[in-house]
Amino acid sequence: MTFTLTVEERAILDTVSEFAAEEFAPHAVEWDQTKHFPVDVLRKAAAMGMGAVYVREDVGGSGLRRVDAVRIFERLASGCPSMAAYLSIHNMVAWMIDTYGTDEQRHQWLPDLATMEHLGSYCLTEPGAGSDAAALTTRAVRDGDELVLTGVKQFISGAGSSDVYVVMARTGEPGPAGITAVIVPGDADGLSFGANEQKMGWNAMPTRQVILDGVRVPVANVLGGFGNGFRIAMNGLNGGRLNIAACSLGGAQTALDKSLTYVAERSAFGAPLSERETIQHTVAEMRIQIEAARAFLWRAAEALDEDAPDKIMLCAAAKRFVTETGYQVVDTALQLHGGYGYLTEYGIEKILRDLRVHRILEGTNEIMRMVVARSMIKSA
């Protein structure tokens, strides 16, 4: 791959950066404090093609590559990691329908998802099935031309505000082969939501339980055929892991940029902090870590674009490396700011709180190490 962007690629990223700086960054702290979910601003992002980044163009998508997507999500996260992360989740839902849906499903659901007139949520995790996703117990029982869904999903981003839910439910035997993906509309009878979770970060994004109490949907809402839900979920997570890593990278870059401004303006013992060798070494190491993480992320995104044999391993490895690197860079930025870094108005502590969950979701980083290890052992 080349690291030199084309004129068109630069133009796209400049536009995204400008949007993040104007529409996300000035409001990010306030949204976090008031737990405001800015749907109107998300729809502005969708009007620029960010509601369906790698969905085909015939249903309103932008038709871009995964390597384009990680660059876009990094720039979005420079303004607000939590809003960029929700856009990533919404895009995962749209991609699943675009990739595995019938032509009728694609044209029914995707145009409104692309504009974000309808918001999407992805429902895999359950109260008793986190990392062991194949152990999920939500059931979908066939009754004539309908499926009846019963169960509870946990930690669902956008729940209660979304209009489309891709739900992983058990339709057959225990284990992965018995899981089916089902599209559930947000206004379905029997669908309800728990209280908005009180979280460490991602406060601008609602997170609730999704409760399915005899929810009936047409069998036509099965996505990708019976028994293929686990495969769909795992394939969706490959891209989701890259996107969430990109959100960590964007947050880290913003924290570094803020740090460079701070150490240039702040003086101690008669000289700007930026003139001290220890400070110079610290910011240099932050930049080195960001560059290494970005290169790794682009490498994994290209592997996903090319359907490379090692794509799953690379997506897991990049997610582990980039999310932990990003968090450490932001933690260092907070330390450089001293007591001011601990204050809300400087924005660093908010980025730190937002990025912490990236090491947990889309597969914990412990699970990412397992994925990499299994790939290594299998190919040895």
Tokens of 99: 């990739």
Residue partners of 286: CB distance under 8 A and separation at least 6: 252, 256, 259, 329, 332, 333
Residue 317 near residue 295 (C-beta atoms within 8 A): no
Strand ranges (E), 158-240: 164-170, 179-185, 191-193, 207-218, 222-223
Burial class (CB in 10 A: 0-12, 13-18, 19+), 288: exposed
Q: What 8-state DSSP symbol labels residue 197? A: P
**Angstrom distance (rounded) from CA 83 to CA 72:** 13
Residues 148, 216 contacting (CB under 8 angstroms)? yes
Residue 78's nearest CA partner among 132, 13, 140 is 13
Instruction: Judge residue 45's burial from the number of C-beta atoms within 10 Å of its C-beta, 0-12 exposed, 13-18 middle, 19 or more buried.
Output: buried
Q: What is the SS3 assignment for 179?
A: strand
- Given a contact cutoff of 8 angstroms between Cβ atoms, the answer to whether 327 and 214 are in contact is no
Residue 261 CA to residue 258 CA, distance in Å, equals 5
Q: Which of 295, 83, 121, 131 is nearest to 208 (CA)?
A: 121
- Among this protein's residues, is 362 annotated catalytic? yes
Q: Active-site residue among 9, 265, 362, 366?
A: 362
Whole-angstrom Cα distance, residue 316 to residue 310? Answer: 10
Q: Which residues carry out catalysis? A: 362
